[in-house]
Amino acid sequence: MAAKIARYHTLPASWWVSEKIYELEKRAIFSKSWILTMHSSRFTKTGDYFRIDIAGFPIILIHGKDGTIQAFHNVCRHRAYPIVNKEFGNSLVLGCKYHGWSYDTKGSLIKAPGFETVPNFDKSVNGLFKVATHTTRQGLIFVNFDSTPNITPFHEFYKGLEDEMDEFDFGEFEYVESWQQDGEFNWKTLLDGYNECYHCPTAHPSFSKVIQVPTYQVEPRHNYARHSAEVVVPDSNAKSTMVESKPAGSSWSSWLGFPSSASIDQSSIKIDELGGDKPGLWLSLFPLNGMNCYSYAWYYMRLVPKSAGRTVLEYDIFARKGEDPVKVREFIRFLKEVEIEDYDLCTLTQKNLKNGVYGTGQLHPDKENGVLYYQNLTNEFVMSHLELEKAAGEQILPAFAGLEAMNEEGKGTDKICKQLECGIHGSDILSW
Ligand code: FES
Ligand SMILES: [Fe+2]
């Protein structure tokens, strides 16, 4: 049984800076979890593909002839060159630019120049490595890199998530734009802030004017958490700070679901007309995603860890079809403002996490329960995987798809390497 972290304390700072912990997280968490990639509306035609990176695993998502979206490792089965180098495109044939092997949209090898004369060469066992996918009925495409029979089914991993997402009508929205930030911080540094609003009054002054910060709640579910808060209702008596602080022609509150305060009779707004007492569907999905859905727009965040100290943040933003472009611009500007505030917090926090002074910190049991929840998940995933590795006496790489194709000699040679990485034969790399 995995050890829980000390009650109401953060994990130690070393977990935010150690490359060995990061590599372990890659095996224990990123290789075993369901991770949100994109929304299916970004694919419009057969052959549409995107190249994305998830925690060091470059993958291709492609819209096949059968209408489904499949995921493959972006690794040629010949000598491992990337199959796709463009960020996105459209093609029914994926051709490798090294020696010319090519694959169809199902990942099957269709051409291997010159191999017609090679005895016993079997095209059928040289297709692209498939990555498990689950596309929810709302069109959200998740992947899981676990290539073993132990892969956790989607609905077991995120129990209740797909049903909960039915609250929001994703079909009413269309893609607007993507946005990316390259951060010099650990993936958990960002998630620490993402999972609480204790920092909102000090760090997000504008955001704190449109929600009732004391009502902000994080409700842990099953490897995800639902965030909610009461919103500030613009009425004739309480329009002061919010309206005064907004730039001319827009309203901070509009992207939370309210019509622009400048264009309506504010005294007529009733909260039940706005979708209940919650401003939308705000979800934090362990380990690497966030989703925020409002009346006029929604977006997801894809964290792309690159190393212990570097994480790329990627956002895809969608707006209600036919929405006023001014309102959409306002939403995007607001989103970026809040995200940049978080980004700056993370950059400076990470510097201190790695300076060798700070160890752990006290968390507020209520206001930071979301932080505690996801740090506990991190700890549990890592510790239980480490137990398996200790028992096996070698590293366990659930994403390692190449094992099946290896002959016995290759497996033996590979084992030597894994044991060296684990500290057997005198190395202290993992220092169990
Ligand atoms: S590496 Fe792709 S064809 Fe050789
Ligand atoms: Fe924040």
E strand intervals along 184-296: 217-220, 224-228, 281-285, 289-293
Does position 265 have pLDDT exceeding 70, yes or no? Answer: no
Greater confidence, 185 or 256? 185
Ligand 1 pocket: which of 74, 76, 110 to mutate (most atoms within 8 A of CB): 76
Q: Do 80 and 198 belong together in one domain?
A: no
* Higher local confidence (pLDDT), 85 or 255: 85
- State both tokens at 425: 């034969």
C-alpha 397 to ligand 1 mean position (Å):
24
Q: Which residues contact 328 (CB under 8 A, 6 or more apart)?
A: 176, 296, 297, 319
Count of Cβ atoms closer than 10 Å to residue 21 Cβ: 21
Q: Is the pLDDT of residue 42 over 80?
A: yes
Q: From the CA of 82, how far away is ligand 1's center (Å)?
A: 8
CB 255 within 8 A of CB 212: no
Spatial CB neighbours of 47, under 8 Å, sequence gap ≥ 6 = 62, 63, 90, 91, 92, 105
Residues 6+ positions from 169 with CB-CB distance below 8 Å: none
- 314 and 428 together in one domain: no
How many whole angstroms from 97 Cα to the centroid of ligand 1? 7
Asked if 4 and 379 count as a contact pair (C-beta separation under 8 A), the reply is yes
Provide the pLDDT for residue 416. Answer: 79
Residue 80 C-alpha to ligand 1 middle, in angstroms?
A: 6
Alpha-carbon span 35 to 381, nearest angstrom: 15
pTM, whole model, 2 decimals?
0.88
Q: Which ligand is nearest to the CA of 292?
A: 2
Enter the DSSP assignment of 341. Answer: H
Per-residue pLDDT, averaged over 41-52, amounts to 97
User: Which ligand does the CA of 109 lie closest to?
Assistant: 1
Asked if residue 51 is part of any domain, the answer here is: yes
Q: How many CB atoms lie within 10 A of CB 207?
A: 19
Shortest-distance Cα residue to atom 1 of ligand 1: 79
- H-run or E-run covering 333: helix 325-353
- Compute how many other C-beta atoms are within 10 angstroms of the C-beta atom of residue 144: 23
- Nearest CA to 322 out of 297, 292, 291, 300 is that of 297
Residues 209 and 343 in one domain: yes
Q: Is the pLDDT of residue 341 over 50?
A: yes
Nearest to 307 by CA among 184, 146, 389: 184
CATH number, domain of 105, equals 2.102.10.10
Backbone angles phi, psi at 212, to 5 degrees: -85, 95
Ligand 1 binding pocket includes 76 (Cβ within 6 Å): yes
Which amino acid is residue 199, in one-letter code?
H
380 within domain boundaries = no
Query: Which atom in ligand 1 lies closest to the alpha carbon of residue 81?
Result: 1
Q: Is 137 within a domain?
A: yes
363 CA → ligand 2 middle, Å: 16
User: So what's the pLDDT on residue 372?
Assistant: 96
In a domain, 11, yes or no: no
Least confident of 97-101, 149-153, 294-298, 357-361: 294-298
In this model, does residue 330 exceed pLDDT 70? yes
Domain annotation covers residue 26: no
What's the average model confidence in pLDDT over 61-86? 97
pLDDT above 70 coverage of the chain, percent: 84
Measured CA to CA, the distance from residue 133 to residue 142 in angstroms comes to 5
Both 39 and 140 in one domain: the answer is yes
pLDDT for the residue numbered 162? 98
Domain's final residue, options 373, 392, 424 = 373
Mean pLDDT value of segment 209-234:
88
Residue 79 Cβ < 6 Å to ligand 1: yes
Q: Are residues 122 and 177 in the same domain?
A: no
Please check whether residue 315 is in contact with residue 299, taking contact to mean a CB–CB distance below 8 angstroms: yes
pLDDT at residue number 279? 63
Q: Which atom of ligand 1 is nearest to the CA of 112?
A: 3
In a shared domain, residues 147 and 178: no
Q: What is the CATH number of the domain that holds 180?
A: 3.90.380.10
Q: Which is higher by pLDDT, 22 or 207? A: 22
| Pair 285, 344 in one domain | yes
Query: Token pair for residue 193?
Result: 């802030």
Whether residue 6 lies inside any domain: the answer is no
Confidence of residue 423 (pLDDT cuts 50, 70, 90): low
Task: Say how many Å lie between the CA of residue 304 and the centre of ligand 1.
Answer: 26
Domain boundary among 85, 116, 151: 151
Closest ligand to Cα 339: 2
Please say whether the beta carbons of 289 and 35 come within 8 A.
yes
pLDDT tens by residue, 91-123: 999 999 999 999 999 999 999 999 999 999 999
* Nearest residue by C-alpha to atom 3 in ligand 1: 99
More confident residue, 337 or 236: 337
pLDDT for 154? 98
> What spacing in Å lies between the alpha carbon of 16 and ligand 1's midpoint?
37
Report the separation in Å between the CA atom of 66 and the middle of ligand 1, taken as the mean of its atom positions: 26
Please compute the mean of the pLDDT values over residues 420-431 and round it to a whole number.
52
The answer to whether residues 369 and 425 belong to one domain is no
CB count, 10 Å around CB of 96?
Answer: 23
Q: Which two tokens stand for residue 329?
A: 């611009």
DSSP letter at 278 equals S
Q: Are 353 and 16 in contact (CB under 8 A)?
A: yes
- Assess whether 309 and 423 both reside in one domain: no
Own/partner pairs for 238-244, CB < 8 Å, 24+ apart? 239/266, 241/209, 242/209, 242/210
Average pLDDT of the residues in 321-337: 88
What pLDDT does 136 receive?
Answer: 98
Within-domain flag for 230: yes
pLDDT at residue 270 greater than cutoff 70: no
213 and 350 inside one domain: yes
The answer on pLDDT for 427 being more than 90 is no
Q: Is the pLDDT of residue 246 over 60?
A: no
pLDDT at 256 over 60: no
Tell me the best of 60, 73, 75, 79 to mutate to test the pocket of ligand 1, counting ligand atoms within 8 Å of each CB and taking the most: 79
Element (H, E) at 376: helix 369-392
Rounded to the nearest whole angstrom, what is the distance from the C-alpha of residue 299 to the centroid of ligand 2?
15
The pLDDT value recorded for residue 278 is: 47
Q: Is residue 292 part of a domain?
A: yes
Question: Minimum-distance ligand to the CA of 343?
Answer: 2
Task: Check if 81 has its Cβ closer than 6 Å to any atom of ligand 1.
Answer: yes
Amino acid at 267: S
Whose structure tokens read 């060296």? 420
pLDDT band at 394 (very low <50, low <70, confident <90, very high): very high
Name the domain boundary from 151, 186, 207: 151
Torsion angles phi and psi, residue 226, rounded to 5? -100, 130
**Same structural domain, 134 and 114:** yes
Q: Please name the residue whose Cα sits nearest to atom 4 of ligand 1.
A: 99
Asked if the model's pLDDT at residue 161 lies above 60, the reply is: yes
pLDDT at residue 158 tops 80? yes
Could you identify the residue written with the tokens 């239980």?
A: 384
Question: Which of 139-148, 172-181, 264-273 comes out lowest in average pLDDT?
Answer: 264-273
Q: Is the dihedral of CA 330, 331, 332, 333 positive or negative?
A: positive
In short, whether 112's Cβ falls inside 6 Å of ligand 1 is no
Containing domain of residue 409, as a range?
A: 402-432
The count of structural domains within the chain is 3
Whether residues 97 and 206 fall in one domain: no
Is 80 exceeded by the pLDDT of residue 351? yes
Distance CA 312, CA 306 (A): 7
Neighbouring residues of the ion ligand 2, judged by CB less than 5 Å: 193, 342
Is the CB of residue 98 below 6 angstroms from any atom belonging to ligand 1?
Answer: yes
Are 154 and 134 contacting, i.e. CB atoms less than 8 angstroms apart?
yes
